Amino acid sequence: MKRNKKERQSLLIETIQDNPFITDEDLAEKFSVSVQTIRLDRLELSIPELRERIKHVAEKNFEDEVKSLPIDEVIGEMIDIQLDSTAISIFDVKEEHVFKRNKIARGHHLFAQANSLAVAVINDELALTAKANIHFTRSVKQGERVIAKARVISIENDRTKVEVISSVNNECVFKGEFDMFRSHSPEQ
């Protein structure tokens, strides 16, 4: 349904407030307009692009929470974290992350996203990967968005087991179980 500019911009503000992680492409589809129209609307309304919105939310929400590494060392953009419980990050696969000949993401980028999320979820000043059991379940291509979700499975003394599942459009592309060393047990 076509809306006039004023209505569309009002709904645009509302939609982005409800979901700051929505892409310009999704907004264009939702409002049946071009991506360029959405970008012009955002510009006119002083709404930053997705990357800046994510960065702002992450810095505002997580900078003081993440103890095990600086927030800017997490690979991908952190969008949620509950220390010693769960964490989520997103990673947009760009040209510099893929093999030139086939545009498939290099595995170390997916591993780095998952591993840094496993470190970040630990509620300790020091968290190091002691062991990782990983599986790549499908290739990831340039232009795809990888959403990694970490979940703490167990905490025993100076070890924490973290499961990370990464997906593209709800399809699993990477699974990992990380055995993390921490300098203190949670009771200390």
Provide the pLDDT for residue 188. Answer: 47
Which regions in the chain score pLDDT beneath 70?
A: 1, 51, 53-72, 184-188
Provide the pLDDT for residue 155. Answer: 93
Q: What pTM does this model have? A: 0.67
Mind listing the pLDDT tens digit for each residue in 48-60? Answer: 787 676 666 655 5
The boundaries of every CATH 1.10.10.10 domain in the chain are 5-47
Provide the pLDDT for residue 101. Answer: 95
Mind listing the pLDDT tens digit for each residue in 115-140? Answer: 999 999 998 888 899 999 999 999 99
Q: Tell me phi and psi for residue 83, to 5 degrees.
A: -55, 140
Computed over its alpha carbons, how large is the radius of gyration of the chain? 19
For domain 5-47, the CATH architecture is Orthogonal Bundle (1.10)
Domain 61-182 is in which class? alpha beta
Which tokens in the block code for residue 175?
């699974």
Tell me how many degrees the CA angle 75-53-74 measures, rounded to the nearest 5: 15
Q: What are the angstrom distances between the C-alpha of 72 and each of 59, 127, 168? A: 9, 16, 23
The boundaries of every CATH 3.10.129.10 domain in the chain are 61-182
